[in-house]
């Protein structure tokens, strides 16, 4: 499993200082979960992430990770990250379908 974003990508979204490392282990686990969530959402559309991760996918994973982190602390405040992540996935799916991309088989 490949992570589609990094802990360093998520920290600015959450307003966590880059040099602050006390949350890094939790964030790393959350990034992996977020990437898996992106995979599952794309799988439903018969799509997968190519080897070179598109910006929209990186953005989706980053916002899903931010959502999960914030949800554990402030469920109501987390919702905006969920919407942003869903929008990024939608953008990717629409672009792939508009480009006539054939469904992927397995993982790219």
**Distance from C-alpha of 14 to C-alpha of 74, rounded to nearest angstrom:** 12
Domain count, the chain: 1
User: Does a structural domain hold residue 104?
Assistant: no
| pLDDT band, very low/low/confident/very high, at 101 (cuts 50, 70, 90) | low
Global pTM reads: 0.90
User: Does a structural domain hold residue 108?
Assistant: no
**Distance from C-alpha of 93 to C-alpha of 20, rounded to nearest angstrom:** 35
Q: What's the confidence (pLDDT) of residue 79?
A: 95
Q: Are 47 and 103 in contact (CB under 8 A)?
A: yes
pLDDT tens per residue across span 57-91? 999 999 999 999 999 999 999 999 999 999 999 99
Closest CA to 37 of 83, 4, 73: 4
User: Does a structural domain hold residue 6?
Assistant: no
Q: Are 31 and 7 in contact (CB under 8 A)?
A: yes
User: Does a structural domain hold residue 34?
Assistant: yes
User: Does a structural domain hold residue 87?
Assistant: yes
User: Does a structural domain hold residue 1?
Assistant: no
User: Does a structural domain hold residue 5?
Assistant: no
* Cα 51 to the center of its chain, rounded Å: 15
Q: What is the mean pLDDT of residues 30-46?
A: 96
**Distance from C-alpha of 85 to C-alpha of 10, rounded to nearest angstrom:** 12
> Which domain, by its residues, includes 58?
22-98
């Amino acid at each position: 499993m490949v992570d589609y974003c990094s802990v360093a990508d998520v920290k600015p979204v959450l307003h966590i200082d880059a040099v602050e490392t006390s949350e890094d282990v939790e964030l790393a686990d959350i990034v992996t979960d977020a990437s898996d969530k992106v995979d599952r959402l794309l799988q439903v559309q018969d799509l997968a992430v190519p080897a070179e991760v598109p910006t929209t996918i990186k953005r989706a994973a980053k916002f899903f990770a931010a959502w999960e982190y914030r949800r554990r602390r402030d469920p109501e405040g987390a919702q905006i990250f969920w919407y942003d992540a869903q929008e990024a996935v939608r953008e990717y799916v629409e672009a792939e379908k508009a480009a006539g991309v054939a469904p992927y088989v397995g993982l790219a």
